[in-house]
Structure 1
Amino acid sequence: MTTAEAVTLPADCRIRPIEPGDDAAVAAIIRVVMPEFGADGPGFAIHDAEVAAMSAHYAAPGHVYFVIERAGRVIGGAGIAPLSGATDGICELRKMYFLPEARGIGAGAAMMQICLDSARALGYRQCYLETLTGMDAAQKLYERSGFARIPQAMGATGHFGCNRFYLRELDA
């Protein structure tokens, strides 16, 4: 796995694996950011049981979750997990959310690189993600990161509120 050196982050920022002490901060970020984009009703990840205990959920085999800290404060996160209901070899980029102060500083690109490198290291061949209309900056990041839009959902995420779907090959 590589680190965020490929993308320049401010000196007071670092990306690291989630720890149990981060659970409350990550849950709060998810619960603040998702409604900002209208993603707080049924069918959105804000209601996933894992939100309250991200560190425990992402400790499972094939899972990894990272947080970004700025001056010691968690300001965002993202993870990789097997795509539920899909064949082996396909992971999902999950719960990638950033507070406003994390946006525009390279956090998204750095986090994306670490997540994709981790997915490769875990042996995944493809990475899938779901998003929705209105998350325009995120979709630009996904496309810059090699994701291609696909016409329909994959797997069984339960996120029927999402209406945009992307897939990326994870060649070495």
Structure 2
Amino acid sequence: MLVTTIREIQPQDNDKVARVIRKVLEDLGVPKVGTAYADKALDQMFENYDQPRAVYFVAEENGRIIGCAGIAQLENYNGNVCELQKMYFLEEARGRGLGVKMINLCLDRAIEYGYEHCYLETMPFMRDAQKLYLKTGFHYIKEPMGDTGHYSCPVWMLKRL
């Protein structure tokens, strides 16, 4: 029987998390430039989220990381807004309710940290992800907030916390 645990990232998870994210992006045919694929932080996720009002979670199954997501202050934005960041699940983990659990955990922590809104960016063809975001209370907005550097992600969504 598979037992899935969602926990905060640890330093020893960095390589595994980077591999999961890059694998999902490659499988989906996401551009390597202007997306999370090119983020310098990808290889140092623990260190990147080891700061106030930020957290990153991993979904682990039998010692193997199968998904991940986090929140942090929205970059280059003056306001009390966090961003749901780098939420990716391997194909085998999709359709099992882990995405809803992960989003809810991130949003609960965002509320605990005192954020007023949660923002996210995604790709137009990531329809299943958008359905999940809508289901958890996000709505589409017409323009990006802040400047994340993800200019290849032209779908923007926001949720009041």
TM-score if structure 1 supplies the norm length? 0.90
Rounded to whole Å, the distance in 2 between the matches of 1:38 and 1:169 is 31
Identity over aligned pairs, percent: 46
Matched, 1:161 2:152: yes
Q: 1:134: Cα distance to partner? A: 1.1
SS of residue matched to 1:118: helix
Query: What is the RMSD computed on CA atoms of the aligned residues?
Result: 1.1
Q: 1:61: Cα distance to partner? A: 1.1
| Matched letter for residue 131 of structure 1 | T
Name the structure 1 match of 2:14.
23
Q: 1:11: Cα distance to partner? A: 5.6
TM-score if structure 2 supplies the norm length? 0.96
Matched, 1:54 2:45: yes
| Matched letter for residue 139 of structure 1 | Q
Residue number among 145, 149, 160 corresponding to 2:136 in the alignment: 145
SS of residue matched to 2:14: helix
Q: How does 1:47-126 map to 2 (within 5 A)?
A: 47-126=38-117
- What is the number of equivalent residue pairs in this alignment? 161
Unaligned runs of 5+ in 2: none
Preserved contact between residue 37 and residue 134 of structure 1 (Cα < 8 Å): no
Preserved contact between residue 31 and residue 152 of structure 2 (Cα < 8 Å): no
Preserved contact between residue 31 and residue 46 of structure 1 (Cα < 8 Å): yes
Unaligned runs of 5+ in 1: 1-9
Rounded to whole Å, the distance in 2 between the matches of 1:34 and 1:61 is 28
SS of residue matched to 1:61: coil
